[in-house]
């Protein structure tokens, strides 16, 4: 699998965190907070695959454009970055040795935790 860092998605995530658009949830909350298939399809229908891709840290260039399979490692709910989504991406990227994605997720993790300290 030729999965690499989606620089557009990473930049989008950093901008959202800098704007304070993040949810300070716990690691195990991602299964409840990640968008459903229906929500993904609705988002794609309204905004297209280019915008959908911005919500993922990984891109699989072996998958066709204009498919959901092309995008890996989601981190948010199409409104905000979720700490639990970033932690999930960081962990899974490490498991599969996608070091560039793991590093990007770790960077976002640090940004989110720093933001949480400022807010508390």
Exposed/middle/buried for residue 40 (C-beta within 10 Å: 0-12, 13-18, 19+): middle
Q: pTM of the entire structure?
A: 0.95
In this model, does residue 114 exceed pLDDT 70? yes
Q: What is the pLDDT of residues 66-103, one digit of tens each?
A: 999 999 999 999 999 999 999 999 999 999 999 999 99
Residue 41 neighbours by CB under 8 Å, 6+ apart: none
Domains held by the chain: number: 1
Domain that holds residue 28: 3-119
Q: What is the pLDDT of residues 3-57, one digit of tens each?
A: 999 999 999 999 999 999 999 998 889 999 999 999 999 999 999 999 999 999 9
Q: What are phi and psi of 24, to 5 degrees?
A: -90, 70
The CA-atom distances, in angstroms, between 20 and each of 28, 68, 88 are 21, 27, 20
């Amino acid at each position: 699998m030729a999965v690499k860092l989606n620089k557009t998605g990473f930049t989008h995530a950093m901008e959202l965190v800098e704007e304070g658009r993040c949810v300070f949830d716990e690691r195990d909350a991602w299964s409840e907070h990640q968008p459903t298939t229906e929500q993904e399809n609705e988002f794609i229908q309204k905004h297209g695959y280019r915008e959908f891709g911005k919500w993922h840290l990984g891109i699989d260039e072996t998958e066709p454009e204009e498919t959901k399979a092309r995008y890996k490692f989601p981190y948010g709910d199409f409104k905000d970055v979720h700490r639990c989504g970033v932690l999930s991406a960081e962990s899974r990227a490490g498991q599969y040795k996608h070091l560039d994605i793991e590093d990007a997720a770790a960077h976002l993790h640090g940004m989110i935790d720093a933001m949480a300290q400022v807010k508390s």
